[in-house]
Chains A and B, each alone.
Chain A
Amino acid sequence: MANNTVKAAPKKNSQAKEVWRRFKKNKLAVAGLVIIFILIIAAILAPVIAPYGYDDQDYSATLIRFSKEHLLGTDNLGRDILSRLLYGSRVSLTIGFISVGIGLVIGGLVGAISGYYGGVLDDILMRIVDIIMAIPSIILAISICAALGPGLINTMIAVGISSIPNYARILRSSILSIKQQEFVEAATAIGASDARIIAKHIIPNSLSGLIVQASMGVGRAIISAASMSFVGLGIQPPNPEWGAMLSFGRTYFRDYGYMVLYPGLFIFIAVLSMNLIGDGLRDALDPRLKR
């Protein structure tokens, strides 16, 4: 008996540590994490490390492919592409993380309420989710953005809202299975409130699916936002979002391919890293793979 409690106590505290230990073993996932950290630091330090401002035009140096002054070249207005990409990582990463946050909070709330209470409320909420799911997410995001108008905040809202059904459904289904477990019954029996049961017992146990979805969702959000900027909604010039840079470079891409190559490469690397992290987290959080 005494032995049992001694054993149980440290194990509970080291849940996160345990996941981290398993996550660390996956080299690709760690590489993804490192790259994302580098990109975040680059985004924060953009004004310090970028050699030029993001809108500094130099008409004596337009459309340079490569030079000592401009490592990744310049665009048709003589703006340094490397600097724009560094500043752009601020916009793209912000959109990626915040829109996932929006989707996660609203979708999680809808899924939690729907899964925990069931009944009529569940029916109504899930029918609404069905309706939103019937519209392909990129079309939904584009229509929202068309309605709200372009801009950073509207893009985040549009991408966030279109990802709500995803999170709602995942959380709902995992709550449905957890709800029937004994520890929830035990909590109800000792008189815990609904809010307490949801927050303390159900959410922590159903989080793993959500975490994996969210980390991959950041990548998807970056691509969605870039797609919207690409068709002219979303972020507007001269703001250096990666998708907007791609869209801008499209006029010249036949002769100056590097103008679309680099922004796309940055999107790709950021999304790939988030996907690697997501894959790693899934393996690390999967109880079946626990030793």
Chain B
Amino acid sequence: MIPVMLGVVLVIFVMLSLSPGDPAVQMLGPDATPEQLEELRDDLGLNDPFLVRYVKYVWNLLHGDLGTSYTTKQPVAKEIFERFPTTLLFTTLACIVGAIVGILFGIVSAVKQYTWFDNVSRVIALIGISVPSFWLGLMFIIWFSVGLGWFPSSGFYGPKYWVLPSLTVGLVQASNVMRQTRSAMLDVVRQDYIRTARAKGQSEMKVIFSHELPNALIPIVTVLGMQFGRGMGGSIISEQVFAIPGIGMLMTNAIGNLNYPVVQGGVLVIALSFSIVNLLIDILYAFIDPRIKSLYSGKKRVRKTKNEFVREPGKESAANG
């Protein structure tokens, strides 16, 4: 994970250093003299060779320093972590909506395959994956905020403000989750052990929730993790729609101002949290699937017994005796 993060920093670094814009000109305006610009570039370290800047950035990064924002002169880390909880909350809420709605509809759809319920929810899910979420957000604002006046349209200050943004992103995510849940469940329902469970008279609820769902869970959890990453990334768009003061908003403004440290920091933090979620999901696999768990614990056990056997065969027999 750490090499991947260093790679992410490198990629973003290369991209932004290829950028034709000059932050110094952006900061001082068009009236600045060439000397002033040169001085500022020196101050910002923009005149250093690429490699020097990269190593410096990584070194500072390891000390928890993401640099200083060009516009506000505040430490980037502080600016980002002030806004991070908002984005995290927003993404998590959306994921919760996506998981609940998606898994529920996916299960029912798979259990009642080819009924009207299945057909309707498949069509809705197809619509859901095709709709641009920012447009859906604007439509929700027109209907529920401007039209009906139920929820506020912008900001993120309390549960009332959370509803529309998390519904917008959550329903789009739910469509993806629903499709995955349905196909994963359908893969499972034709297995022999399901027939066995039915044959021994297990109740339908028990068959679905103790036999089918656990076996279908791996692809469902995988898609949930992906949705979380997409939600994090998509925050750069959806926070614009609902004027949510999170990382996405910070980054959009930073891109406009050529405020590179903030852009780098934002991408890095989002990539990092995405990686952490993926790691958690990999760990979760072990809990879901005993086969994966035994793969890891099995290896360890084999190695241990081997070592004991090779090193101290005498002791073992002594202990036994």
Residues of A bordering B, CB below 8 Å: 127-128, 130-132, 134-139, 142-144, 146-149, 219, 223, 226-227, 230-233, 243, 246, 250, 253-254, 257, 260-261, 263-264, 267-268, 271-272, 275-276, 279
Q: Is the CB of B267 within 8 A of A139?
A: yes
Q: A131-B8, A219-B130 are in contact. List 19 more A-B contacts (CB 8 A).
A: A127-B3, A131-B11, A134-B8, A135-B270, A138-B236, A139-B271, A142-B255, A143-B16, A143-B263, A147-B19, A227-B134, A227-B237, A231-B236, A232-B252, A246-B138, A260-B142, A264-B132, A268-B130, A275-B130
Interface of B: prevailing SS? helix
Q: Which of B25-33, B58-66, B193-201, B226-234 contacts A (4 or more CB under 8 A)?
A: B226-234
Question: Pick the contact of B130 from A149, A226, A231, A271 — CB < 8 Å?
Answer: A271
Q: Is the CB of B130 within 8 A of A272?
A: yes
A61 vs B7: C-alpha distance when bound (angstroms)? 54
A138 vs B238: C-alpha distance when bound (angstroms)? 12
A96, chain B: closest CB distance, angstroms: 13
Q: Which residues of B contact A146 (CB under 8 A)?
A: 16, 19, 255, 263
Q: Which residues of B contact A233 (CB under 8 A)?
A: 255
Q: Name the residue in B12, B132, B232, B233 with the highest tally of chain A Cβ atoms < 10 Å from its Cβ.
A: B132
Q: Which residues of A contact B21 (CB under 8 A)?
A: 149
B152, chain A: closest CB distance, angstroms: 13
B92, chain A: closest CB distance, angstroms: 15
Q: A268-B130, A268-B131 are in contact. Are A135 and B271 (CB under 8 A)?
A: yes
Question: Would you mind naming 18 contact pairs between A and B with Cβ atoms under 8 Å apart?
Answer: A128-B7, A135-B233, A135-B267, A142-B236, A142-B255, A146-B16, A147-B16, A219-B130, A226-B134, A230-B134, A230-B237, A230-B240, A231-B237, A232-B256, A263-B135, A264-B138, A272-B126, A272-B130
A17 vs B191: C-alpha distance when bound (angstroms)? 33
B191, chain A: closest CB distance, angstroms: 15
Q: Is the CB of B11 within 8 A of A136?
A: no
Q: A143-B12, A146-B255, A246-B134 are in contact. Are A275 and B129 (CB under 8 A)?
A: yes
Q: Which residues of B contact A243 (CB under 8 A)?
A: 132
B13, chain A: closest CB distance, angstroms: 10
Q: Is the CB of B146 within 8 A of A254?
A: yes
A4 vs B292: C-alpha distance when bound (angstroms)? 46
Residues of B bordering A, CB below 8 Å: 3-5, 7-8, 10-12, 15-16, 18-21, 126-127, 129-132, 134-135, 138-139, 141-142, 146, 229-230, 232-234, 236-237, 240, 251-252, 255-256, 263, 267, 270-271, 274-275
Q: Which residues of B contact A275 (CB under 8 A)?
A: 126, 129-130
A268 vs B127: C-alpha distance when bound (angstroms)? 8
A263 vs B134: C-alpha distance when bound (angstroms)? 12
B189, chain A: closest CB distance, angstroms: 16
